[in-house]
Structure 1
Amino acid sequence: MFGSVETVSADDVLTRKQQAEKVHLIDVRTKDEVDSGKIPGALHIPLHELPERMSEIEKGKEYILICRSGNRSGKAAKLLKQNGFKVLNMSGGMMKWKGERE
């Protein structure tokens, strides 16, 4: 669906967090969407700001991209991958997230 960008399920992300794995998350939803709750610790970079804000992301880390349903985060993941970042797209987005929100 998103070329060569791999996906990870919301349940897998939750499991990683519960096992105290260091998970790096980027939420690409709008401010209004994030104001209704995001995954604790996720970095908020709206999709439209991503090209200008790539300098905030470390190339040596793996990031999981998140949006409402997985479509915008798929676009964001593809863009980051094309720029040398290691990324995964959280399939189903926040619609599938069952963990806590901040």
Structure 2
Amino acid sequence: MARVYVGNLDARVTSGELEDEFRVFGVLRSVWVARKPPGFAFIDFDDRRDAEDAIRDLDGKNGWRVELSRNSSGRGGRDRYGGSESKCYECGETGHFAPRGRSYSRSP
């Protein structure tokens, strides 16, 4: 896996818009767009070579800064929250979080 940082984003950009731009380069594992504060995102690619292709082609497009995340080792590992590859505490999937100590259940 390889994580790509995308900076200088317009505050109105959506994860769907970024997914459309980046998925042409390869399989995406997740797309996360910051909201507070806005202006940046992280795109996780399955393959590091696909991430490098996206960086080469998209850096500077729309004024974006696109680069390999400084925390990306390409081998997985622990993120700054202490979890493995930013996985949800409840279900173990990537792409969203459930805060520790809280349980979110669906009501019928």
Q: Which has the higher contact order (CA 8 A, sep 6+)?
A: 1
TM exceeding 0.5: no
Which protein shows a greater Rg?
2
TM-score (norm 2): 0.34
